[in-house]
Amino acid sequence: MNIVPGNASPILSSRIAEKTGGKLIEAEYKRFPDGELYVRIKEIPDDCVVVQSINSNDDLVYLILVLDALENSDVTLVVPYMGYARQDKKFLEGEAVSIRAVAKILESYAERIFTVNIHSKDAESWFKKLENLDAMPLIGEKYKGKDVVMIAPDKGSLERVKVAAKYAGCDYDYLEKRRVDAETVEIFPKKLEVEGRDVVIVDDIISTGGTIVEAVKNLEAKSVEVACVHAVLAGNALNRIYSAGVRKVVATDTVEKAVSEITVSSLISEVLQC
């Protein structure tokens, strides 16, 4: 198996190559003085797996250039973090459905596409060749045997947290918001009492950290940790989260950050070898 590592996913690419016994293909990435990007794949294989998360516009352009360079190869594409997936429908007339545009481009090059915990069913629906992998069991395994309560930041995230809690063997709940007055909103667990308990807030993506910060302010927990699949952590999000009193942040390596303690390499390697 030939693995082409994207600029955004070199560590995960290496881990996948190690687990599959694959060969890492050398790729060159650089930026010209005018800001344009350049890609060169130094050995063009007949077939390969490209591994590249989309956590920025540059990541997307680099990926398109990689795929173009591999125009004569049979390509299986792994996009561990599928950027633009939150722009999955029109809210105002004239808006682009960004993930639809991304899907059209990627599927024009790749035979198969794998991603991890794409943000929504709506986003997934724009693809025809996509298989969506679930890393929530891996997060659950991280906390297996620990006396914690897993909390979803809202009802929409409850099903994801339910999966993680099953593998952790712990209780779970979701946070509900109640407006007290024009300036005050209370955030509290729907059913469980978490006062004096160790809480893990679980979500698919942490971007700005705003939801986490508000949740921590309202939880009277013994301690709070945060676990997510995709640690986007835009700007000073990680500092905001720790400053709010969070003890620890844990994420997978779909986005390669200092907090990426859990690897999805086995999850991806298994489907690539099927």
Q: Is 179 known as a binding-site position? A: yes
273 among the known binding-site residues?
no
Q: What is each CA distance from 51 to 16, 124, 170, 265, in whole angstroms?
A: 9, 18, 33, 11
15 is in an annotated binding site: no
Measured CA to CA, the distance from residue 54 to residue 85 in angstroms comes to 10
Is 252 marked as a binding-site residue?
A: no
- Residue 210 annotated as lining a ligand binding site: yes
**230 annotated among ligand-binding-site residues:** no
User: Please, is 179 exposed, middle or buried when counting C-beta atoms within 10 Å of its C-beta (0-12, 13-18, 19+)?
Assistant: exposed
Confirm whether 177 is a catalytic residue.
yes
Give the count of beta carbons closer than 10 Å to the beta carbon of residue 265.
Answer: 22
Q: Report whether 21 belongs to an annotated binding site.
A: no
Neighbouring C-beta atoms of residue 212, cutoff 10 Å: 22
The Cα 252–Cα 162 span in angstroms is 18
Could you give the angle at which helices 265-272 and 10-20 cross, rounded to 10 degrees?
50
Residue 160 assigned to a binding site: no
* Amino acid sitting at position 101: A
Consult the annotation and say whether 169 binds a ligand: no
Q: Which of 19, 129, 166, 177 is the catalytic position? A: 177
156 assigned binding-site residue? no
List binding-site positions: 34-36, 86-87, 119, 154, 179, 203, 207-211
List binding-site positions for ATP: 34-36, 86-87
Which residues are part of the catalytic machinery?
177
List binding-site positions for D-ribose 5-phosphate: 179, 203, 207-211
